[in-house]
Amino acid sequence: MARHITIGAAQLGPIARGESREAVVKRLIALLRQASARGCELVVYPELALTTFFPRWLIERGPELDAWYEPEMPNAQTQPLFDEARALGIGFYIGYAELAVEDGKTHHYNTSILVGPDGEIIGKYRKIHLPGHVEPQPGRDSQHLEKRYFEPGNLGFPVWDAFGGVVGMCLCNDRRWPETYRVMALQGAELVVLGYNTPNDHTGDGAVDGLSNFHNHLAMQAGAYQNSTWVVGTAKCGREEGSLMIGQSAIIAPSGEIVAMATTLEDELVTARCDLDMSKVYRETFFDFARHREPQHYGLIVERKGVGPALNKKAA
């Protein structure tokens, strides 16, 4: 058995602060046409793929800040992307800043959508693991104010029957947390798609920051392997408004192997023909959850948010 789907990771180089959504959408469409020429059925774009990574600046609440968000999707600027995708018969994943009105209140989310080859939105995800800070940190060239500009997502980690398989989404920092993949895998996810913007000065400690590319792949490869799922992670990268962000967008098999990887920090498409049935051998051996998991011992994972005392501590 084999269920093949050809997937493209459509990496973006930097987007300047002044670059319009129209200009970005042209870049997205150029990548989409390349993807079509290479037989892709699904294209994965980055997180916050329509604008520069604005959480690097302190911006007061108000019109200047709100201009970075999309009140609806598609909208006038992005409609050409939806139209082109439908014309080519290619589905896509894309991230953007969402301004939502719910229960009469305005909310801000870091959001992604999955769009079918018919141009219709299949599902929406709102980023749960927001990195960074609420307040600007002293002494940093670039801030990381996602916790200021977004609320944690309120849609959980859903999965959808799509593209001949079961597909889940997440965003950027979510990929570092094993809970992300696990909750989707427990719903049968066979493919997890995600975008990221990862500045490589996250901690300010050179010994740590120098490992940014390694950590990016380590987390995604472990997520793929430990959950028997394909993972496609796509970067917005390069030196964007003075902040250098990592690339190495990757398509990762359920074996944890990287089967396609970008090597530039520019707009670049990498593709792979992915057999969704490749996960079977892992699901039926190492990671046959129903046979091997022991959830009665996992309670702390949901009972605690942070580190707490040892359950059974004995002094040495």
Query: Residue 262 in contact with residue 235, Cβ under 8 Å?
Result: yes
Structure tokens at 165: 């398989």
Q: Does 176 participate in binding a copy of itself (rule CB under 8 A)?
A: yes
Please choose, out of 49-57, 60-68, 121-129, 240-248, the segment that lies near a copy of itself by the rule CB under 8 A.
Answer: 121-129
Nearer to a copy of itself, 57 or 160 (CB): 160
Please choose, out of 48-56, 149-157, 229-237, 261-269, the segment that lies near a copy of itself by the rule CB under 8 A.
Answer: 149-157
Q: How far is the CB of 168 from a copy of itself (least distance, A)?
A: 9
Residue 193 Cα to chain centre, angstroms: 6
Kindly report the number of other CB atoms within 10 A of residue 68's CB atom: 20
- Of 14, 172, 256, 269, the one binding a copy of itself (CB under 8 A) is 256
Q: How far is the CB of 170 from a copy of itself (least distance, A)?
A: 11
Place of tokens 């699901």: 283
Kindly report the number of other CB atoms within 10 A of residue 123's CB atom: 18
Output the CA–CA distances (angstroms, integers) from residue 66 to 15, 60, 108, 196, in the order listed. 18, 10, 9, 21
Q: How far is the CB of 101 from a copy of itself (least distance, A)?
A: 21
Q: Does 183 participate in binding a copy of itself (rule CB under 8 A)?
A: yes
Burial of 115 per CB tally in 10 Å (0-12, 13-18, 19+): buried
Kindly report the number of other CB atoms within 10 A of residue 306's CB atom: 4
- Of 28, 40, 130, 232, the one binding a copy of itself (CB under 8 A) is 130
Q: Which positions from 226 through 245 interact with a copy of itself, judged by CB under 8 A?
A: 226
Nearer to a copy of itself, 78 or 229 (CB): 229
Nearer to a copy of itself, 3 or 215 (CB): 215
CA atoms within 13 A on the CB side of 288: 5
Query: Whole-angstrom distance between the N-terminal and C-terminal Cα of the chain?
Result: 54
Q: Which residues are catalytic?
A: 47, 127, 172
Q: Does 71 participate in binding a copy of itself (rule CB under 8 A)?
A: no
**Three-state DSSP class for residue 58:** coil
Q: Does 57 participate in binding a copy of itself (rule CB under 8 A)?
A: no
Q: Which positions from 99 through 118 interact with a copy of itself, judged by CB under 8 A?
A: 116
Q: Is 5 left (phi over 0), alpha (psi -120 to 50) or beta?
A: beta
Kindly report the number of other CB atoms within 10 A of residue 72's CB atom: 10
Q: Does 222 participate in binding a copy of itself (rule CB under 8 A)?
A: yes
- Of 3, 107, 140, 215, the one binding a copy of itself (CB under 8 A) is 215
- Of 59, 73, 186, 259, the one binding a copy of itself (CB under 8 A) is 186
Q: How far is the CB of 14 from a copy of itself (least distance, A)?
A: 23
- Of 19, 140, 160, 244, the one binding a copy of itself (CB under 8 A) is 160
Q: Does 185 participate in binding a copy of itself (rule CB under 8 A)?
A: yes
Q: How far is the CB of 20 from a copy of itself (least distance, A)?
A: 32
Nearer to a copy of itself, 10 or 258 (CB): 258
* CA-CA-CA-CA dihedral for 59, 198, 195, 80, to nearest 10: 50
Structure tokens at 26: 């042209």
Residue 20 Cα to chain centre, angstroms: 22
Which of 172, 198, 41, 30 has its CA nearest to residue 110?
A: 172
Instruction: Report which DSSP code applies to 55.
Output: G
Q: How far is the CB of 116 from a copy of itself (least distance, A)?
A: 5
Query: By rule CB under 8 A, what string of x and - marks binding of each residue 284-303 to a copy of itself?
Result: -xxxxxxxxxxx-xxxxxxx
